[in-house]
Amino acid sequence: MYEHMHISHPEKCNKTIGHKQWQCEYCKSIFKNRKELFEHYRICNIKLSLPKDSKGRVLSQLKSSKQCFCKFCNREFTDTHSLSYHEKLCNDNPEKVCSSWQGRKHKASSRIKAAETARRKLDERGIFFGYNPIACDYMNNLNVIKGWHLQHALNGGEIRCGPYSLDGYDKEKNIIFEYDEPYHEHPKYKEHDMFRQKYLIETLKPSEFWRYSVKFDRLYRVV
């Protein structure tokens, strides 16, 4: 964004920064952005002809005393801040904390702490690992009252149907049960629920399809 502002909208930037030039320190060529400058470094004839040390780094009086190199891959940087950030991401770093484009990789101890915090918060809300124990208790009561055998998260695990997991499903009688928490009444979720309901009916062709709305405390039959 900064480079774009400097190039396309210099009037919006500070005068000294807005007209900043990216100049090769070896051949003094001018480039419009830093990316083009570093691409040029790979083919700069003067740089390639300068003596190098055992690690392939340029030994030149033209360079300032602040030149920085990655200790893993010898990539050159113009400041220590960029260098330290790169070294954390460098593929040659055996202890890198994250990899490019794949998200941050935390240490095992950090992941354990994060998992414990998430479990504690779910416990406080009465929700455990993606399922609601209150919904499971409600289905257990339906099993007793109606003589069903709804399988849910706490008695065999939720049944999968394509991309969806059923809150409760009786395999013998082919009965589907869905437990709708209050947020399901939001128009966005209702639209998703209708699409999901249509898919389940067309796929499983249930003999009965029941839904329970927590917000209205209502049990009703769809099929």
16, 38, 59: which is the final residue of a domain? 59
141 phi and psi angles, rounded to 5 deg: -65, -40
Does 114 map to a domain? no
Lowest mean pLDDT among 35-49, 109-123, 131-145, 182-196: 109-123
Looking at the domain assignment, is residue 191 inside a domain? yes
> Over 90: is that where the pLDDT of 208 sits?
yes
Residue 128's pLDDT is 44
* Phi/psi of residue 77, nearest 5 degrees: -135, 160
Q: What is the pLDDT of residue 46?
A: 82
Task: Among 10, 25, 59, identify where a domain stops.
Answer: 59
186 or 128: whose pLDDT is higher?
Answer: 186
pLDDT score recorded for residue 47:
80
pLDDT for the residue numbered 121: 64
Q: Using DSSP bridges, classify how beta strands 175-180 and 208-213 pair: parallel, antiparallel or unpaired.
A: parallel
Evaluate if pTM is beyond 0.95.
no
Contact partners, residue 165, CB within 8 Å, separation at least 6: 158, 159
Share of the chain above pLDDT 90, in %: 22
CA distance 205 to 87: 57
The reported pLDDT for the residue numbered 219 is: 92
How close are the terminal C-alpha atoms of the chain, in Å? Answer: 55
Per-range mean pLDDT, top range of 88-102, 137-151, 182-196: 137-151
Q: Which residue has the higher pLDDT, 34 or 66?
A: 34
Asked if residue 122 is part of any domain, the answer here is no
Most confident option among 38-52, 143-157, 199-213: 199-213
Measure the CA–CA gap between 184 and 215, rounded to whole angstroms.
Answer: 9
Euclidean distance between CA atoms 51 and 168, whole angstroms:
73
Per the structure, the complete domain to which residue 153 belongs is given by 133-221
Lowest mean pLDDT among 115-124, 160-169, 205-214: 115-124
Residue 67 lies in a domain: no
DSSP 142-211: HHHHH----B-TTTT-PPEETTEE-SEEETTTTEEEEEE-GGGGSHHHHHHHHHHHHHHHHHH--SEEEE
Tokens of 159: 């049944």
The pLDDT of residue 170 is 93
In a domain, 126, yes or no: no
Between 163 and 200, the higher pLDDT residue: 200
Strands 175-180 and 160-161: unpaired
Alpha-carbon 81 to chain mean position: 25
Task: Examine residue 79 and state whether it is found in any structural domain, yes or no.
Answer: no
Between 32 and 106, the more confident residue is 32
